[in-house]
Structure 1
Amino acid sequence: MIDGMVLSFPCIKVNNDLDILESNHAFKTWVGEEKEIKNVLELSNDYDVLKHNQRLLINDKFYDVYTNAVNNCFYLEFIENPYINVKGQVDSNILVGFVLIDNYAEVEENVEETRLPHLMAIIERKINDYFNNMGGIVRKFEKDKYIFVLNKDLLPELKETKFPIVEQISKIEIGNIPVTLSIGIGINGTSINEDMEFARGALDLALGRGGNQTVIKEADDKYQYFGGDGNEVIKNSRVRARVKAYGLIELILSASDVIVMGHKNPDLDSLGAAAGIYSIVRFYDKKCNIVLQKVTSSIKALYDRLVSDEKYDGVFITPEQALAKVKRRTLVIVVDTHRVMLCECPELLDKTSRIVVFDHHRKTSGAIENYSLTYHEAYASSTSEMVTEMLMYIKGVRLSRAEIEGLLAGITVDTKNFAFKTGIKTFEAAAFLKKNGADTISVRRLFKSSFDAYMAKTEIVRTAEIIFDNMAISELDREVENPSVLIAQAADELLSIDGIEVSYVLCKVGNRICISARSLGKVNVQKLMEKLGGGGHQAGAAAQLENVSMEDARELLENKIEEYIEETN
């Protein structure tokens, strides 16, 4: 009996409906003898019986509530925490974060064995000096990882100076390989432990955005980004792809069936990667479907080639059909996006806990989190390249010519004919596909557009205006099929004009204004588009603005460009 227990803190016994069955004297004194509380939810609507430990605001004070299940009932203990402030956070002046040498493996491979200790000593001294000079503590806990603790009052100064240690380390070059750092910081958590979890998440996000930058994460998934204007850290190690391939096989074998989906308004990279994944799943004799809401003009040629093969009968399904098919053991594989809102069927992610994500875009907020496996490489040219690389390690998979050429088309479209974001592995993937029967002329036919689309693209280029000396901006002012793809192609065309380093093209789709941005590298258009709620890569990004006119959207874009220029100068 709780009533007979001598406990200094409030304690109650509740049933499955959270009705209070018993309470001790401390609880009655706490709530007031004259006040009758019948259910826990009367104290706080935020109470969750499934959580063993939670922090709740009750009568303007925060309490740590501990729940223990005993004989079909629950015992709750309410412990007042005097160190919690009005925001539900532990009062602390500590700032905690992690530092990672992004490309340690590449540096280790390319530096002479006798010179490596000297190089690492230089890096370690610079990191130690940077944090020690601010009165902080920094400790190395792995060969490429550090943890640091600083006074939180220094954070405004760190933001103002944009964490110069990242740039200092990037100036250290051995041969042609610059050493790069990423920093993850967590703030405003309910405790220092939560701040450390935020810091780990921030570091993962920094790596997903290409490394060589600092990310600060706080409660409610709010992020701040510093740096990251340089090219993504190129990694040529094949170990990661092999490990991910084997992990994917294990998940496929343990699943009842597989559903693959890309992003809304799919392109050749999205569909090509999905077809590559489909071939892997089929090899292991599992039922597989691909979610596709609409066949747009940009993928129609590849789609027609795929469905002409009888093995694709009934493979493509709508989001509604996917939701009806999904089961508890269904494996959902997402390709060419990592953001929930951009998935072809976001609701599908809530129907299963078995989720795999393959993407090459720089990581941003709103990412899929409850995954079983993720292969996220911001340095990769395309998701098709990543899937092709995994196919190299899965012996025996036979791809149709349409699947092979779909993968090569995906690489081609995202690299702009192998001009952007190409690394050693990009050409190795293309060579593998060519060796297995890809015909480059046949791939070229997948890019054909209609006469009206070509004329619209020509008009966009003809009416472009020059702003800020080296930037071109234009608009699509006519009705065409798949306008978001067309403006991306037009933005690419504008970069071929002498003196143009950056291009922006806008179009209206329903009640939204779509913006496509392209860069030759001097301007990080991903960071610029993030100011408008979008994202992408350093050289190619996009954003969408809802319920605004074309004039207002253009004015807002130009204001953000000015803001970006001021920040980077």
Structure 2
Amino acid sequence: MKRKHWTLTPWFLIFAMAMLMMTMATYSYNKILCYIELGITVGAFTIVIVLSIRFQNYIKGIVKSTAEKIKGFNPEHLEKYKYPVAVSGKDGDILWCNARFRKVMCGGKSPEGESINAYLSGFDISKVCDSEGVDIACDGKEFTAFCVSAGDGIVCHFFENTYYKNIVREYHSTMPCVALISFDNAEDFFNDSDEAYSEIVASVETSLQKWAAEYNALYKRVGTNRYMIIFKDSDIDKMTAAKFPILKTIRSINANHLTATISVGLSRGEKLIKDSEMNARKALEMALGRGGDQVAIIKKDNTYEFFGGKVAAAEKASKVRMRVIANAISRVVADCDKVFIMGHKFSDLDCVGAAIGLQCIMEKSFKRYSKVVINRETSMAKQLIDYASERLEEEIFITPQEAERGVTPRTLLIVVDTHIEHSLESPQLYEKCRRVIVIDHHRKAVNYINNAL
């Protein structure tokens, strides 16, 4: 039933009365015309009356059917309810509502005949009926609407909970978000005089303290060139909108052609500071792995969002560190019985070239059985593979299936030219190998291999 039926019925009655008066006026001039007009008027009036009676019976039938289905349903009782209640037909047209509904939801106007969907924030009554409730808003207030089918009608209850929803929003906006900050290239400034190094560190720390003070956040130095700031979740929205200007502020600190940079790992969505700090460590590791000078935000669902990264990543690995890494790899290789070297899907020249070079090192320097795991059919470096196969004494290439059959508890898998699990030539081989080493030059990305030695 449409709203126009409710609004047009009075106009039909007025029009019929006007026609009746015109008919009476015509009687003195032309009786035949008067009788014709009278017949038309009576017919129109009869049709309007019949339709109105049928519609009233329809409303009574819906209300009666609803009352039979709901124990204690009584319009007089519902009229006294302190929360809005409305009864609609199956098509969603409002048949009855209490005074509270008219006052709160309609501004005092009568809504009979309108669609209830207009008061459900666009939800369709047929889809939300008998559901667990839907959250709606009306005139700046928030409600949870429960729609229950009863006979041929639907009873809609609207419970205002603006106050409680504001509390929930405030709770989420004030959840602690731990940010761990690392002064990326502090060692580069350390090569200068102690005085210059101290000035740079002091400038970086002062900038971080001002950043924390801007949001009334807790600032603490947690180690050498390491800092922690605890923000509110609502503060992070402001920072992301501004794309973290702290990165630019730190980059403005420079000396002897060197520019200071920081990496920030930030956690969102955790209720406990302990969990937030743990995730912030992961995010900081991700930011550093991607080259530094950026903010990595980890969310509750373990997805990342990145900001910054405009300064080229500086090479921070010293010769001492490289020697330590080389010695660690040597010990792992010495303790294994065989080595499989694998790259990414659709392997290219640098991937296959790196794998061949490592295979030669494993075979000749460490005297270990080693093979390059590759899919010849999908590789984009077939010429290099054929060239190596022709000139090497032994065949060094095997298929992923052959490698999987040869895995032992002491097998070492070396992954080259990628660090993302789903891009491996054979994820199944990776899952079977307990010992994994990753050698890659790309920026660290999400879904990286996290169990490498």
- TM-score tier (shorter): 0.5 to 0.7
> Where does residue 300 of structure 1 map in the other structure?
382
- In structure 1, give the amino acid aligned to 2:189: V
1:284 aligns with 2:361: no
Q: Aligned with 2:195: secondary structure?
A: coil
SS at match of 2:304: strand
Note the 1:42-191 alignment, pairs <5 A.
Answer: 93-109=175-191, 111-189=192-270, 191=272
1:463 aligned partner? none
> Does the CA contact (< 8 Å) of 1:106 and 1:236 recur in 2?
no
Distance change (3 Å), C-alpha of 1:228 and 1:355: same
Whole-angstrom CA distance in 1 between matches of 2:303 and 2:426? 25
Say whether residues 1:359 and 2:440 are aligned partners: yes
Residue in 2 aligned with 1:255?
A: 336
Contact 1:212/1:233 (CA < 8 Å) preserved in 2? no
1:173 to partner: Cα distance: 1.5
TM-superposed deviation, 1:99: 0.3
What 5-or-longer segments of structure 1 have no aligned partner? 1-85, 373-569
Number of aligned residue pairs: give it: 284
Picking from 266, 280, 284, the partner of 1:203 is: 284
Are the aligned partners of 2:283 and 2:298 in contact in 1 as well (CA < 8 Å)? yes
Distance 1:353 1:191, change over 3 A: farther
CA contact (8 A) 2:287 2:294 kept: yes
- Please tell me whether the aligned partners of residues 183 and 225 of structure 2 are also in contact (alpha carbons under 8 angstroms): yes
**Displacement, 1:135?**
0.7
Q: Deviations over 1:41-70 (max 9, x none)?
A: xxxxxxxxxxxxxxxxxxxxxxxxxxxxxx
Which residue is 1:219 aligned to? 300
Aligned to 1:439: none
Whole-Å Cα distance in 2 between the matches of residues 219 and 323 of structure 1?
35
Residue pair 1:184, 1:199 contacting (<8 A) in 2 also: yes
Query: Is the Cα–Cα contact under 8 Å of residues 176 and 270 in structure 2 kept in the other structure?
Result: no
Alignment match, 2:313 = 232
Q: Does 1:323 align with 2:401?
A: no
1:489-525 deviations in whole A, cap 9, x for unaligned? xxxxxxxxxxxxxxxxxxxxxxxxxxxxxxxxxxxxx
Partner of 2:274: 193
Q: Could you tell me whether the CA contact under 8 Å between 2:345 and 2:378 is conserved in 1? A: no
In structure 2, the partner of 1:493 is none
For 1:344, give the aligned amino acid: E
| Cα deviation 1:363-397 (Å, max 9, x = unaligned) | 1112111211xxxxxxxxxxxxxxxxxxxxxxxxx
User: Relative to 1, partners in 2 of residues 1:369 and 1:90: Cα closer, same or farther, differing over 3 Å?
Assistant: farther
**For 1:202, what is the secondary structure of its paired residue?**
helix
What is the 5 A alignment of 1:466-477?
none
Amino acid of the structure 1 residue aligned with 2:388:
L
The answer to whether the 8 A contact 2:174-2:232 is kept is: no
1:518-541 superposed Cα distances (whole Å, 9 cap, x missing partner): xxxxxxxxxxxxxxxxxxxxxxxx
Q: Which amino acid is the alignment partner of residue 253 of structure 1?
A: A
Unmatched tracts of structure 2, length 5 or more: 1-167
Question: Using the alignment, how far apart are the partners of 2:275 and 2:254 within structure 1?
Answer: 36
Deviation string 1:407-452 (CA, Å, 9 cap, x unpaired) is xxxxxxxxxxxxxxxxxxxxxxxxxxxxxxxxxxxxxxxxxxxxxx
Considering fraction of residues, name the structure with more helix: 2
Deviation >6 Å, runs of 4+: 89-92
Query: One-letter code of the match for 1:211?
Result: G
Residue 348 of structure 2 contacts residue 379 of structure 2 at CA under 8 Å; is this kept in 1? no
Whether the 8 Å contact between 2:221 and 2:227 is mirrored in structure 1 is yes
- How far 1:118 sits from its partner (Å)? 1.5
SS at match of 2:341: strand
Q: Secondary structure at the match of 1:332?
A: strand
Residue 217 of structure 1, CA deviation? 0.5
TM-score, length of structure 2 as denominator length: 0.59
Query: Match for 1:105: what amino acid?
Result: E
Q: 1:153 to 1:316 in 2, by over 3 A?
A: same
CA distance in 1, matches of 2:188, 2:271: 38
Letter in 2 for 1:104: A
Which amino acid is 2:372 matched to?
I
SS in 1 for 2:318: coil
Q: What is residue 355 of structure 2 aligned with on the other side? A: 274
> Is the 8 Å Cα contact of residues 292 and 309 (structure 2) preserved in structure 1?
yes
Distance 1:236 1:325, change over 3 A: closer
Amino acid at match of 1:368: I
- The equivalences for 1:420-499 within 5 A come to none
Does the CA-based 8 Å contact 2:189-2:196 persist in structure 1? no
Matched AA of 1:333: I
Q: TM-score, normalised by structure 1?
A: 0.47
The residue that corresponds to 2:428 in the other structure is 347
Structure 1: distance between partners of 2:272 and 2:389? 54
CA offset digits 1:466-511 (Å, max 9, x no partner): xxxxxxxxxxxxxxxxxxxxxxxxxxxxxxxxxxxxxxxxxxxxxx
CA RMSD of aligned residues (A): 2.4
Tell me how far 1:303 sits from its aligned partner: 2.2
